Amino acid sequence: MNQDYIKPDNWSIIEEGFDLEQVKSSESLFSIGNGAMGQRANFEEYYSGKTFQGSYIAGIYYPDKTKVGWWKNGYPEYFAKVLNAPNWIGINIEINGENLDLATCKAVKNFRRELNMKEGIYNRSFEATLQNGTEISVNVRRFLSIDLDEVGVINYEITPLKADAKITFKPYVDAGVHNEDANWEEKFWEPLDVKNSANEAFVTARTFKTHFTATTFMQNSILLNGQNQNISPSNVEASNEKVQFTYEVKVAKDQTASIQKLGGYTVSMNHENTQVAAQNVIAKALSLGYDQLLNNQINAWAKIWEMSDITIDGDVKAQQGIRFNIFHLNQTYLGKDSRLNIGPKGFTGEKYGGSTYWDTEAYCIPFYMATKDQQVARNLLAYRYNQLDKAIENAEKLGFKNGAALYPMVTMNGEECHNEWEITFEEIHRNGAIAFAIFNYYRFTGDYSYIPEKGLEVLIGIARFWHQRATFSTYRNQYVILGVTGPNEYENNVNNNFYTNYLAKWCIDYAIEQINKVEKEYSADFDRITSKVKLEATEIQHWRKVADHMYFPYSETHDVYLQQDGFLDKELVKVHDLDKSQRPINQKWSWDRILRSPYIKQADTLQGFYFFEDHFSKEQLEKHFDFYEPFTVHESSLSPCVHSIQASTLGRMEQAYTFYLRTSRLDLDDYNKEVEEGLHITSMAGTWMSIVEGFGGMRVKNDTLHFEPRIPKDWNDYSFKINFRNQILKVSVHQKETKFSLEGEKAISVFVNGKEILVEPNSLVTV
Amino acid sequence: MNQDYIKPDNWSIIEEGFDLEQVKSSESLFSIGNGAMGQRANFEEYYSGKTFQGSYIAGIYYPDKTKVGWWKNGYPEYFAKVLNAPNWIGINIEINGENLDLATCKAVKNFRRELNMKEGIYNRSFEATLQNGTEISVNVRRFLSIDLDEVGVINYEITPLKADAKITFKPYVDAGVHNEDANWEEKFWEPLDVKNSANEAFVTARTFKTHFTATTFMQNSILLNGQNQNISPSNVEASNEKVQFTYEVKVAKDQTASIQKLGGYTVSMNHENTQVAAQNVIAKALSLGYDQLLNNQINAWAKIWEMSDITIDGDVKAQQGIRFNIFHLNQTYLGKDSRLNIGPKGFTGEKYGGSTYWDTEAYCIPFYMATKDQQVARNLLAYRYNQLDKAIENAEKLGFKNGAALYPMVTMNGEECHNEWEITFEEIHRNGAIAFAIFNYYRFTGDYSYIPEKGLEVLIGIARFWHQRATFSTYRNQYVILGVTGPNEYENNVNNNFYTNYLAKWCIDYAIEQINKVEKEYSADFDRITSKVKLEATEIQHWRKVADHMYFPYSETHDVYLQQDGFLDKELVKVHDLDKSQRPINQKWSWDRILRSPYIKQADTLQGFYFFEDHFSKEQLEKHFDFYEPFTVHESSLSPCVHSIQASTLGRMEQAYTFYLRTSRLDLDDYNKEVEEGLHITSMAGTWMSIVEGFGGMRVKNDTLHFEPRIPKDWNDYSFKINFRNQILKVSVHQKETKFSLEGEKAISVFVNGKEILVEPNSLVTV
């Protein structure tokens, strides 16, 4: 935890002062992205200190050869890794012949970073005294254009402070990059071509194996006191993978020299000839010019915020936290491209490989459904539909048949990217979340068309999987599900994880319901699908047997469902009775000790209560919350949000608020001491849920929005907007009242604490 | 399975015909060793075909940096690997200027290998037609001297068949070797020094990190028709890690040129100056001369066989099988050095890393106790005593304290060499086998002195471990042991594995018994030990609570102890109802499928019935055997022997015989299609047990030998010898009678089928 490192501010992330030990953490926190690409906040100029270089292009991955200690049948031979892409931001700087390197300067003063989330712009400034005594002031501004999403812009200004100086700018593009997490220290990029003319340069490289081609480009302008000098490089160095230009400028004391560098990527996913595309996009950006690009950026972000902002009055840290979360979600995924998804580290690091976990379905879809056009959520669902064949193949590798589908634990292209047997083969509840998202999408949007069109095939594949994965126990005369890992990854290979069994039963029930509905209402689709997947009525009867006779572990003594068989055999010492020196247990304890402890990494049984809240009474929720939360260590970023929502539901606002802060400021305050590896993007959607579903108590029941608004005691008010079926409802919760207003054309009914109210377009309703 | 590949023979392992695809398998099967070193049967001459090069020095290992996919707390950073040592057998051959390479010869005829187990000598002969048309006949003899255990001898004879020929011998020593299983493709040997003079050469190299120094040496003589030519090399090539001599001989048709090469290792474990030691050992070997070395070898093996041979009349394959097993056990470990142990692959391959598993205590000690001086078994026990501190450290790493000891799953030097959490951290029953071996040693030898001297400290460390590892379940009001892997590694992270729980209870009970006995009878030792390990009476009371209230899973329906909690939830389809195409499941099924299946890799509950046979009735054994064996796939080499013994005990001789063949010819017939990786050395001791304890029914009860002799129906007779308390009892079992005779001075009573008989020295008793 590092609570005072980031300065509180409503709209910006601010760091003040230069600390060599914080550089990698700040590189994560100040990351920028535009949905199509993103990058860590690495310095443009050479830096010899500790750094984690990262620039990423959405959808571009590399299948790295699997590395394990002992091979298990079924492991993928190769798996997709988030790929560190060629560097286009680099600008080496020489001042009077000496390299500017913040790690070796005599002094660095007034170092400041500001990530202006309102405008989507990252600024860095400092004053440095070099070893040669020269003193300069530096201002750097960088942004990745939302509009022109292949382009990033850097404006790098230098002012000599005490005397005239010779300033050399050496901007470059470089495909000679590597991944820190490469299993075999291999290069992932094969350089194909290098080209330059005037102030432009292009490095075209292709990923090995996957053969994605990317042209990494730059265009440079040198300015003096804001006036373009229209000069060309005095020197060009080119290798087979890198081009570097040299520009020399003599600058008088207190005058400012700057370089404006346009850069970015054009990739073969989008263009036949990536080099031509790069030339075109440079031309387009130049025709707009720096000022217009900047204005467009501010406007684009204003539009995003217009819909997705959550305001909090009276608590700057909470405000900063939620905006940081919403900002990064939008930097990572804007929903324009159904080939993309939301990686757990977004564009901020390599960890976890692959991009798509069940996080997308369980945590991210609600945010995107409510703050974007419904097509965005539909694209996220379609992503899984498009990978159904691979999920069926994946299941076949594990011995399933007849079209049973097991979605991978993590993937880029539908193939499994994970290789620990207890996760890869056993954390199968992910399949349930994917079905749940289909249900959730329809519940929220009312758009049924997705199901006959695509969703039903996914539901059938998943139902087939659960049917085959269940085992009939003659001993219990019920179906059991053996050898699984639940959401709580601090248990491995357990039998009858309540959450998994419950989801499995629900998936089958829901699939059958939808089959019946599609048969009745979309008979052409029904015929097309059943003939494609060869589904017969008898097969459905077999499924039903499993769903109808599923076993759920339950304790009469405690009147709770048990997380899994044998849970009560554990030594049930609560977390608050555990010595603090033992925490976090995932850093302090050996794995076996964690496994036999009662400690829960993230909501497991309670995740089931979150998904299926309406299947249980509030008393049941309370009982289960009181039984499980005291054993929960929340060592997953996905844990506090669900608990915050449930604490809110139970009216425990203090606890809900504590969980809220933990989820919203997880990275800003570096709770888990690992922010330097990247940010926890997917849990950020959970933060949004803790306000909207937790504090706001928003639910959709029978095609209608319901709210049970609550507010933390120190807040004056908070507000959020919901795109509900193409109308925008704004909800503003105050200590004593809640206000609703509607941007739309048709009045809607909402329920507030169970009472129906009508919200007319463009008029405020106060409850 | 490859049943007709090795020719049946009572005393030899014979291969006839050259098959490129069999070379790696034969390299394993024809391996030779002398307890101090050993090697795969690699060709001396260059070979471009598929080969797995291996030469190993007992006790020399390398700590390779651990490789895992996802790191778990508690994994060892480095672990000891069996190290491929420098090559001293190499002799490149040129015939009329062409390299002899069996993979590229025009023709290879009459290729034959014979491993003469009686004499400990490996022969290889063939006729080859080279690409240049030259035809030669080759005879190679190789052995590793038992007496002079730093020395190996090669006699390599070449006879030109159709015309005179120029033959070039290029013997070399080479430290530029690598391990096939190196995690990071690093070199493990650092060359230090290279020296040669006249016909001798020395390469001295040191292992990285562990700093074992070894001088690899050779001395060569060139003979023509058996006459030493006393010639020196015409050329010497030396690098920093290799020396190669060139000898050229003109040989007339049908005349024979040969090279006699002495080679081997002198190591820093045994010598201060390994190079001087190498010079000395060469001098010693030369003073004996080739013929005497050969004679000594034959005599040394005759002595070994004198005591450890098992004869079988009427079944050549069975006879060959048991001798193959006994031969390799003696090649691997002769009990001279308490720093050494019995690796699962001996000197025949790299697999499994490290050298010491629980195999030693559970399977090997009975063989060595009965066929060697009792000091040998005592050395094996002392090996663990000497590593007790490391076992305590190992337990501390996993969070145990107060001197609790957890022995590693596999080790070279006491440190853990395994890194799969479900094994490393959870297959803790190994600790029980180590305690059981102490009990077993005393039961068999009557030598109690080991316990006060060393054993008790080990027992206390182990009892402390079990006490801390058990969890009190308030739910059951009993102690449970959560999260373990039993001997059946096809279950991971289960709760209350019967075998583990039973052993844990027994270990505590046995430790307390020995503490009490030592207190009474060896009070000085008692005081020394209790003050050293700080043992108080109150601590023992805590242990006792665990032992007295241990929970054992049990099914009333089946009246059997359950292998673990939840076993009955599985789909209990027996192995014979499983489609053959699904076998072996460890090659056909994904790991999760194996885990949730009922299939058992090797005796688990039944291993407990094997150790503690006298705790259970024969009816209980039968019930458990009938319940578990049908689910057992015997995919561990350690499985068939225990089942063979139990089938014998239950009078099911046909089944016992089938299991016997499977254990004794596991490698010869390559049941598991993996013999090319090396032999299954430790299970070979199980083969011995299946005859002596299985067919012979030998047990020790109340300081007396008991037998229940049985014999497979096609055998005429079989015989074995037992060193029982320094007297040698010979047992010869025929279809209708059993004969006993005694080499010793004192008559002993033995029980045969419950009836006491007296065996006088040097007189035959027939029953």
CA distance A398 to chain B (A): 5
Mean pLDDT confidence for A563-574: 97
With cut-offs at 50, 70 and 90, classify the pLDDT of residue A42: very high
Q: Is the pLDDT of residue A182 over 80?
A: no
pLDDT of the residue at B67:
75
- The residues facing B172 across adjacent strands are B244
Between strands B37-39 and B55-57, the pairing is antiparallel
Please judge whether B593 and A569 are an interchain contact, meaning their C-beta atoms are less than 8 angstroms apart. no
pLDDT of the residue at B354:
67
DSSP secondary structure code for residue A492 in this structure: -
Residue B265 lies in a domain: yes
Nearest to B495 among A419, A472, A569 (CB): A569
Q: Is the pLDDT of residue B636 over 80?
A: yes
Among B632, B478, B640, B464, CA closest to B563: B632
Residue A168 lies in a domain: yes
3-state secondary structure at position B176: coil
Nearest to A421 among B67, B496, B592 (CB): B592
Task: State yes or no: is B693 an active-site residue.
Answer: no
Closest residue of chain A to B72, computed from CA coordinates: A591
Determine phi and psi for B439, rounding to 5 degrees.
-60, -45
Residue A17 lies in a domain: yes
Polymer length of chain A: 767
With cut-offs at 50, 70 and 90, classify the pLDDT of residue A75: confident
- CATH code, domain with B221: 2.70.98.40
Residue A188 lies in a domain: yes
Please judge whether A473 and B568 are an interchain contact, meaning their C-beta atoms are less than 8 angstroms apart. yes
Query: Longest C-alpha distance within chain B, in Å?
Result: 88
Please, where are the H alpha helices in A289-429?
290-308, 316-332, 359, 365-371, 374-386, 388-397, 421-424
Please judge whether B67 and A69 are an interchain contact, meaning their C-beta atoms are less than 8 angstroms apart. yes
Distance CA B411, CA B433 (A): 15
Residue A301 lies in a domain: yes
Q: Are A667 and A344 in contact (CB under 8 A)?
A: no
Nearest to A471 among B70, B475, B570 (CB): B570
Distance CA A161, CA A166 (A): 12
What b/e string do you get for A195-223 counting C-beta neighbours within 10 Å, with b at 16 or more? Answer: bbeebbbbbbbbbeebebbbbbbbbbbbb
With cut-offs at 50, 70 and 90, classify the pLDDT of residue A467: very high
pLDDT of the residue at A672:
80
pLDDT tens profile B176-192 = 998 887 777 778 899 99
Beta carbons within 10 angstroms of residue B18's beta carbon: 21
B interface test, pick of A592, A593, A627 with most B CB neighbours within 10 Å: A592
pLDDT tens profile B56-77 = 999 998 888 877 777 778 787 7
pLDDT tens profile A634-680 = 999 899 999 999 999 999 999 999 999 999 999 999 988 889 999 99
Chain A residues closer than 8 Å to B474 by CB: 568, 572
Beta carbons within 10 angstroms of residue B524's beta carbon: 9
Share of chain B above pLDDT 90, in %: 91
Residue B719 lies in a domain: no
pLDDT of the residue at B63:
82
Q: Of all residues in chain A, what percent are helix, strand and coil, respectively (each to 5)?
A: 35, 25, 40
H-helix or E-strand spanning residue A87: none
Mean pLDDT confidence for A103-111: 97
pLDDT tens profile B503-516 = 999 999 999 999 99
pTM more than 0.95: no
Chain A residues closer than 8 Å to B550 by CB: none
pLDDT tens profile A513-548 = 999 999 999 999 999 999 999 999 999 999 999 999
pLDDT tens profile B403-460 = 999 999 999 889 888 888 999 999 999 999 999 999 999 999 999 999 999 999 999 9
CA distance B179 to chain A (A): 16
Higher pLDDT, A418 or B530: B530
Polymer length of chain B: 767
DSSP secondary structure code for residue A629 in this structure: G
Share of chain A above pLDDT 70, in %: 99
3-state secondary structure at position A581: helix
Chain B residues closer than 8 Å to A425 by CB: 590-592
The token duo for B711 is 């014999």
Chain B residues closer than 8 Å to A476 by CB: 569
A interface test, pick of B472, B596, B674 with most A CB neighbours within 10 Å: B596
Q: Is the pLDDT of residue A354 over 90?
A: no
Domain range spanning residue A57? 12-306
Distance CA A331, CA A346 (A): 8
Chain B residues closer than 8 Å to A471 by CB: 569-571, 596
3-state secondary structure at position B559: coil
Q: Is the pLDDT of residue A396 over 70?
A: yes
Mean pLDDT confidence for A83-99: 96
Query: Distance of CA B18 to CAs A602, B23, B30, B106, B137, Å?
Result: 61, 8, 14, 13, 14
Output the average pLDDT for chain A.
Answer: 95
pLDDT of the residue at B1:
66
Closest residue of chain A to B492, computed from CA coordinates: A493
3-state secondary structure at position B404: coil
Please judge whether B592 and A483 are an interchain contact, meaning their C-beta atoms are less than 8 angstroms apart. yes
Structural domains in chain B (count): 1
pLDDT of the residue at A428:
98
Higher pLDDT, B2 or A87: A87
The token duo for B402 is 């107060």
pLDDT tens profile B349-386 = 988 766 899 999 999 999 999 999 999 999 999 999 99
DSSP secondary structure code for residue B452 in this structure: I
Determine phi and psi for B6, rounding to 5 degrees.
-95, 130
The token duo for B46 is 């260059």
Helix count and strand count (H, E) for chain A: 22, 33
Determine phi and psi for A34, rounding to 5 degrees.
-135, 25
Identify the active-site residue in A114, A427, A489, A693.
A489
- The residues facing B92 across adjacent strands are B170
What interface predicted TM-score (ipTM) does this complex get?
Answer: 0.90
Residue B648 lies in a domain: no
Nearest to A592 among B483, B565, B590 (CB): B483
Please judge whether A569 and B493 are an interchain contact, meaning their C-beta atoms are less than 8 angstroms apart. no
Higher pLDDT, A337 or A484: A484
Identify the active-site residue in B489, B491, B677, B693.
B489
Query: Longest C-alpha distance within chain A, in Å?
Result: 89
Q: Is the pLDDT of residue A365 over 90?
A: yes
With cut-offs at 50, 70 and 90, classify the pLDDT of residue A454: very high
Distance CA B374, CA A594 (A): 43
Residue A480 lies in a domain: no
